[in-house]
Structure 1
Amino acid sequence: MELRDKLKTSLIVGDGAMGTLLYEQGFDLCYEELNLSQPDAVYHVHRSYIEAGAKLLQTNTYAANAVKLKKYGLNESVADINSAAVGIAKKAIGNNEQLALVGTIGGIRGFLHEDTENKVITAALLEQITALLEAGVDGLLFETFYDFEEAKEAVALARRLTDKAIIMNVSMGDIGVLNGGIPLGEALEQLHELGADVLGINCRMGPYHMLRSLEQLELSSAFPLACYPNASLPGYRDGRFVYASNTDYFYEMTGAFIEQGVHLIGGCCGTTPAHIAAIAKAVETNTPKTRSLIVRRPSQLQEEGPGRGERLNEPLDQLARRKQTIIVELDPPKKLMIAKFMEGAKALKEAGVDALTLADNSLANPRVDNQTLAMLVREQLGLRSLVHLTCRDRNLIGMQSHLMGLHLAELHDLLVITGDPSKIGDFPGATSVYDVSSLKLLPLIKQMNEGISFSGNSLGSKATFSTAAAFNPHVKHLDKAVRRLEKKIEAGADYFLTQPIFDEQQFEQLYDATKHLPVPIFVGIMPLTSSRNAEFLHNEVPGMTLSDETRARMAACGNDKEKAEQEGLQIAMELADAASAYFNGLYLVTPFLRYELTAALATHCRAIANPINHTMEGERI
């Protein structure tokens, strides 16, 4: 009987984790390369699973694609590694006609959706699929696919290349949902329509959470299911991940999986031959079950309605589309005394600024939490804040928690930045997190605006964030920087804030380079306080470039502090005048908490406000 038919009518025991057993033998690098250098080690893993009762073996090729092998310098060995893997598994199977072999292909994009171009992924999938088919597998098993678009591409490509069995196991972000909030049932049905014979889930979760996902599964079409759970939730001990030894539990859960219509049951991370033996024992006393089909209900993201956190003010990007809009950066203090900061915020409010921007531990120096300050500024002064959000200091768990708090605190305006590395700040031994970059965080925030958490689960209601991103115009090739802006817009940026600009001619150049963009740009302007300040910014601060004329004017002030400050303010006013001819958005940066300078600059900007009101039809805002 062909494997495709067997999967529809029988209960089949899959194998367990390859990497877990190889790791226990002391291997800890590229497991796929062992097909060439240590074939006996791979062979014995296969044999141990066959002896435990596995009837469907997977090749040791999970990461044997050009993208994953490149970091080991093995991207030219894809065909050799995959071919060798098939040969080892066939040797382990021998003449046993009850066993079948599938070529394993792992997802390339992980949970964080790495920056790998679609065409690169397609080429890598094509190369690996071709190598496995040519080596003579009975079918293909795709596993640990977090990215749904990649999963669809893989299935469609494989079906064009073969009529052999195709098994697709996706990995969920949360119980019952894929990344992006796609319900598991909807995802599996789409993959079935593209040609997959068996659809299932693997990795990240243990039996309990996978069973809950299957119990919630809503399907309107019939096909066999697969389930490859991890041994348990992982623990961490002595520098390594460990999993529970729970074979009796696997025996009990196997029966529950079968009741949900699962035909193919194996194991993922942490599972061993003992787990597979427990599955095989349970399969012996069960028969395949047909799953009841239902009409899927529409997903309900708005479980609680808008409630607290509903946006009441106009987003800053929309404000800048119709009038001059001024935002001012005022750094949170490094000490617990905030009286001067609040005085500055009050002065800026009286100067007529539209919002205060609050940095998030800029230059990797710890400061008073900007969310707390934003709430105090609003409650005591009635001034809104643009809260900076850096990727350096929080992992994805903390980031989502922080964003949920910001939403409930009705702080909806965010500047999303990657952040300076921790080694340049007051605590050079601190760890930079960087689970995501700003480019990756932007779509996750927009996902929250759709009521979907980072993991894909419902948030109960939709967030209402508007997101700014940073733009450094001081680059040699401005066209390349603008292409990065286009990527950020695609990712979810609603507007941009630039580094301070100190050359009037640069505003026209920037306008010409960005006038096609459909979002506002707030151009940065910062009053200088001294020649030393000017030279520090020009020579030591990344992304800052001052014109020769500006540096000369500040140098001419010598050591006269008052004269230097007035000259710096005059330069900033001239820059603001020039910028207002092209841009509605002005981003004023306060130097050294000298709020009186930016207050005076903001007052000047209000007095000369030019209601240019550019439209979005090819003109810059």
Structure 2
Amino acid sequence: MDLLETLKNRILVADGAMGTLLYAYGADTCYESFNLTHPEDIHAIHRAYIEAGASVIQTNTYSANYIKLAQYVLEEKVKDINKAAVRIAKEAANRDTFILGTVGGIRGQRKTEATLAEIKRTFREQIFHLLNEGVDALLLETYFDAEELYTVVDIAKKEADVPVIAQFSLIEPGVLQNGTPVRDAFKELENRGADVTGLNCRLGPHHMIQAFEEIPIPKRAFLSAYPNASLLDYEEGRFTFTNNADYFKTCAEKLVEQGVRLIGGCCGTTPAHVKAIAEGVQGLLPVTEKTVRPPKIEIAAAPAQHEPPLHEIVKKRRSVIVELDTPKTLNTARFFEGAKALQASGIDALTMADNSLASPRISNTAIASILKEKHGIRPLVHITCRDRNLIGLQSHLMGLAALGIDQVLAITGDPTKIGDFPGATSVYDLSSMELIAMIKQFNDGISHSGKSLHRKTNFSVAAAFNPNVRNLDKTVGRLERKIRYGADYFITQPVFSTEKIEQIHEATKHLDAPIYLGIMPLTSYRNAVFLHNEVPGIKLTDEILAAMEKTNGDPAKAREESLAISRTLIDAALGYFNGIYLITPLERYELTVECTRYIHEKTAVQGAGIV
């Protein structure tokens, strides 16, 4: 009995969700471990789907890989769990039942911290055990990331002598998350040797049928579809799906019309849904020709041209940006007074943190808009991953683009536990690297879901760089990764050592992305001690602490010493870097104004050749 030979002449009905029927055990349970602890439950579910009309079932191994099992401290059970899964499926199967060894995607809708090399090793291990137990085919399902699925197909075709079914998951019908049309992605899968290409999860039948309307019948491979039951609902603390099993009967017929030959169900589907699919396809023959609906071509318009981005400015000349945090109250007089003074001193942009140290301040976007429109000051807005989920981040970016604010710093953000509201929730749907990639995808006119934005954005994206660490090489490795994700330039934490400035230059001189070196004037000895001992990412030298200690209790001497320290650091920084990032301490903008003027004076003297 051969799966591909059967698909040449028949529509095959596959099973539905496994996790949906096990949901009663809890959402945070490792269902794959049930192969060892509750084999009778897995066997019963397989039998229920077979009796409902499924001739194709999949092993309970979606997350049975090293990386995902490690979340439950079960990574050493990869072999046992996969072996048991195939055994249970075989015991439940009829003579004419095909058993698919399921290998689920790892990256999901956001890229995992696992490297591609780690993912490759993980897949090879799982695939080896599934093949060793004698599955009829491999089912690669729920892959949002094209690179990952292409990689796994390559591994599967090299290691397996059984058919390979490769299925993408879409957020938007018709396109992958990176904006690639599904029809093009299917061609690539077929070129790499996939025997069946398809879609599963995320979309219900309506949108999945809509997606297949744009997909031609493959020349060699077959098509598969495993739609969700419906959109998720939330009732009394539980996620639920619409009870719509009968609806799947007509939907199955429409999928057959679109050339699909293998039809099952994903999240929310039950034996009742599979029974409806079986009734819907009964007597139907595979379709070999269809009218393909032309895809809707949405070309994103080019962004409006504004002044050069900061990362281009700093490559050509000295550039100064200054951080001035927005107020913690609604009294904005001193903030705007400082902003105008800094503008007059000749800064290239005013940068504002996004609720720094997890303490609420006036929205930096609102203040940025006022600075830009009323005062002609270029804003550089920090965006943290802490305060907004994926929906909020996308909405926020679209709002910035609509306001014409195109300079941003993408950062993870201080955890809420250190701020004014330690009981608040830190979101962290994305890492700072993933946020950078998302912003650069906006620059291509594509949303995080893959859908066209109808206009490209022109964000210049800065990334954070903390050089105040023991292992600078490791940190530079993170900078290299951030560049690969799309970072245009870097802004450092404040540095308080000329030796450290030289070390930073030596460690980063191979990077293409420019660096704005952070310098922060001190306000007093007390301020210096606090920064050194309590603020993450900041360390002062013993010499600076000693110098500030001598000014203790004398504000005028403290100011004089602070500016002297800042000038020394600026002199060292300008020997290596074109960009200086001045951090205004405690609304004391007079200090950063003085530093800005000093930088321009120093630049003018050097430009005139005066020593």
Q: Same fold (TM over 0.5)?
A: yes
Q: Deviations over 1:265-284 (max 9, x none)?
A: 11101111011111111011
> Distance in 2 between the 1:24 and 1:462 partners?
45
Q: Deviations over 1:462-498 (max 9, x none)?
A: 1111100111111111111111111111111111111
> Distance in 1 between the 2:390 and 2:547 partners?
46
> Distance in 1 between the 2:9 and 2:605 partners?
72
Partner in structure 2 of residue 270 of structure 1: 268
Relative to 1, partners in 2 of residues 1:149 and 1:291: Cα closer, same or farther, differing over 3 Å?
farther
Report SS of the residue matched to 1:268: coil
Aligned-pair CA distance for 1:297: 7.1
Q: Deviations over 1:407-434 (max 9, x none)?
A: 1211111111100011211111111100
Partner in structure 2 of residue 617 of structure 1: none
Which of 401, 405, 408 is equivalent to 1:407? 401
Which of 432, 443, 463 is equivalent to 1:438? 432
2:353–2:381: 8 Å Cα contact kept in structure 1?
yes
| 1:328-347 matched pairs, under 5 angstroms | 328-347=322-341
Aligned-pair CA distance for 1:539: 0.4
1:301–1:452: 8 Å Cα contact kept in structure 2?
no
Partner in structure 2 of residue 80 of structure 1: 80
Aligned-pair CA distance for 1:238: 2.6
Which of 464, 481, 501 is equivalent to 2:495? 501
Q: Deviations over 1:103-155 (max 9, x none)?
A: 11111111101111112111111111121111111111111011111111111
2:216–2:290: 8 Å Cα contact kept in structure 1?
no
> Distance in 1 between the 2:15 and 2:348 partners?
62
Aligned-pair CA distance for 1:28: 5.4
Q: How many residue pairs were aligned?
A: 607
1:458 correspondence with 2:452: yes
Relative to 1, partners in 2 of residues 1:301 and 1:573: Cα closer, same or farther, differing over 3 Å?
same
Report SS of the residue matched to 1:9: coil
1:580–1:610: 8 Å Cα contact kept in structure 2?
no
1:8–1:223: 8 Å Cα contact kept in structure 2?
no
Aligned-pair CA distance for 1:607: 0.4
Aligned-pair CA distance for 1:293: 7.1
Relative to 1, partners in 2 of residues 1:205 and 1:612: Cα closer, same or farther, differing over 3 Å?
farther
> Distance in 1 between the 2:122 and 2:312 partners?
42
AA matched with 1:548? D
Which of 309, 314, 320 is equivalent to 2:314? 320
Report SS of the residue matched to 1:593: coil
2:214–2:292: 8 Å Cα contact kept in structure 1?
no
Partner in structure 2 of residue 199 of structure 1: 197
Partner in structure 2 of residue 68 of structure 1: 68
Partner in structure 2 of residue 604 of structure 1: 598
AA matched with 1:496? F
Report SS of the residue matched to 2:148: helix
1:449–1:464: 8 Å Cα contact kept in structure 2?
yes
1:163 correspondence with 2:157: no
> Distance in 2 between the 1:611 and 1:99 partners?
83
Partner in structure 2 of residue 179 of structure 1: 177
Partner in structure 1 of residue 285 of structure 2: 287
AA matched with 1:212? Q
Partner in structure 2 of residue 395 of structure 1: 389
Report SS of the residue matched to 1:377: helix
Runs of 4+ in 1 over 3 A off after TM superposition: 24-28, 218-223, 291-300, 610-613
1:427 correspondence with 2:413: no
Which of 130, 133, 137 is equivalent to 1:132? 130
1:311–1:412: 8 Å Cα contact kept in structure 2?
no
1:4–1:164: 8 Å Cα contact kept in structure 2?
no
TM-score by length of 2: 0.96
Report SS of the residue matched to 1:288: coil
Partner in structure 2 of residue 472 of structure 1: 466
Which of 140, 150, 153 is equivalent to 1:152? 150
Report SS of the residue matched to 1:592: coil
Relative to 1, partners in 2 of residues 1:112 and 1:500: Cα closer, same or farther, differing over 3 Å?
same
> Distance in 2 between the 1:59 and 1:258 partners?
25
AA matched with 1:186? D
Partner in structure 2 of residue 240 of structure 1: 238
Report SS of the residue matched to 2:478: helix
AA matched with 1:141? L
1:98 correspondence with 2:96: yes
> Distance in 1 between the 2:199 and 2:262 partners?
11
1:40 correspondence with 2:53: no
Report SS of the residue matched to 1:247: coil
> Distance in 1 between the 2:254 and 2:127 partners?
33
Relative to 1, partners in 2 of residues 1:445 and 1:355: Cα closer, same or farther, differing over 3 Å?
same
1:581–1:612: 8 Å Cα contact kept in structure 2?
no
> Distance in 1 between the 2:162 and 2:145 partners?
24
Aligned-pair CA distance for 1:240: 2.1
Report SS of the residue matched to 1:321: helix
> Distance in 1 between the 2:605 and 2:81 partners?
65
Aligned-pair CA distance for 1:189: 1.1
> Distance in 2 between the 1:293 and 1:123 partners?
41
Report SS of the residue matched to 1:357: strand
2:101–2:138: 8 Å Cα contact kept in structure 1?
yes
1:301–1:462: 8 Å Cα contact kept in structure 2?
no
Partner in structure 2 of residue 590 of structure 1: 584
Aligned-pair CA distance for 1:72: 2.1
Partner in structure 1 of residue 481 of structure 2: 487
TM-score by length of 1: 0.95
> Distance in 2 between the 1:574 and 1:498 partners?
17
1:189–1:219: 8 Å Cα contact kept in structure 2?
no
Q: Deviations over 1:331-374 (max 9, x none)?
A: 00111121111111000010011110011111111111111111
Q: Deviations over 1:479-518 (max 9, x none)?
A: 1111111111111111111111111222212111111111
1:176–1:213: 8 Å Cα contact kept in structure 2?
yes
Percent identity, aligned pairs only, is 51
AA matched with 2:179? G
> Distance in 2 between the 1:536 and 1:564 partners?
15
Which of 506, 519, 525 is equivalent to 1:531? 525
AA matched with 1:70? A
Q: Deviations over 1:555-590 (max 9, x none)?
A: 101201122122212211221122111111000010
Relative to 1, partners in 2 of residues 1:504 and 1:260: Cα closer, same or farther, differing over 3 Å?
same
2:214–2:293: 8 Å Cα contact kept in structure 1?
no
Computed over aligned residues only, the root mean square deviation of the Cα atoms, in angstroms, reads 1.8
2:217–2:288: 8 Å Cα contact kept in structure 1?
no
Aligned-pair CA distance for 1:175: 1.4
